[in-house]
Every structure is written in structure tokens, then in C-alpha cells.
Amino acid sequence: MIQSPIKKLLVRKVGSNKFLKATGRWTKKAEAALNFPTLVDAIHTCVARGLKEVEFILRLEGDSEDQCFAWSLT
């Protein structure tokens, strides 16, 4: 089995600084957010929930800072 280099992968609502929880609700606390195992899982969840404008907050193993990628489903 291949080990994922993803240390952290969160979904954040654009413009609100709220993160998606496992319950489907939003939270202001990043530590309470759902940490997705893969980008495919994060995208699938966004599509299934009808989320149109989100950002993916990503940190890879060995990195010291988060990267942010905007995603819009139109």
C-alpha cells in the first residue's frame, strides 16, 4: 500500500473562514474539521453536498505551511 504524502486536507467555505465537519456542518475551528485522506474524497464530498465555492487547505508531509487551492463548481 502506498502511503499518502497528505498530512492535512480540509475544505473551507470561500469568504467565511469556516471549515467542513464530518457532520456536514461548518465550524470556525480548523481542528474540528474533517481531515480528508485524499483530494478525490474531498472533491467527491463537495460535489455530493452541492458545495459550489470552496478552498482546499492542504499540507504535505515535510511542509511547514499550508497551501490553499480555490475550487468552484459552476
For residue 31, count CB atoms less than 10 angstroms from its CB and return exposed for 0-12, middle for 13-18, buried for 19 or more. exposed
For position 40, what pLDDT does the model report? 93
The pTM is what?
Answer: 0.89
- Spell out the residues 6+ positions from residue 7 whose beta carbon is closer than 8 angstroms to its own: 59, 60, 61, 63
**What are the residue ranges spanned by the domains of the chain?**
6-72
For position 55, what pLDDT does the model report? 96
pLDDT, tens only, 12-63 = 999 999 999 999 999 999 999 999 999 999 999 999 999 999 999 999 988 9
Question: What's the count of helices (H) and strands (E) in the chain, helices before strands?
Answer: 1, 5
Which band of pLDDT confidence, cut at 50, 70 and 90, is reported for residue 73? confident
